[in-house]
Amino acid sequence: MKLRYISVMLLGLGLAACGQSEPRSSQYFEAHIEEARTVVAECKDGSTRGEECTNADIAVQVVEAKERFKRFRSRD
């Protein structure tokens, strides 16, 4: 009986830990910009929510700003 109780508790803790994943950072999304754009699109249609939406959106804005600045500097 004790072994069963311990097994059930360990299984429950293991499943609880699996459900809590840390959101990917904006730095991660800057390095994986296509994935960031996909997440932003999913956020806009409502299929994804949370901090990853914010982080992906920030990364897309930063990368696009860097690209615009690079194009601006090359006009000289």
**CA Rg, the chain, in Å?**
20
Has residue 34 got a pLDDT over 70? yes
Please list, in sequence order, all residues whose beta carbon lies within 8 angstroms of the beta carbon of residue 30, skipping any fewer than 6 positions away: 36, 59, 62, 63
The amino acid that residue 66 corresponds to is: K
Query: What integer pLDDT is reported at residue 48 of this predicted model?
Result: 87
| Residue 38 in tokens | 């996909």
**What is the CA angle 61-67-62, rounded to 5?**
25
What ranges do the domains of the chain cover? 23-76
What DSSP character marks residue 50? S
More confidently predicted of 53 and 19: 53
Confidence of residue 26 (pLDDT cuts 50, 70, 90): very high
The pTM score is 0.69
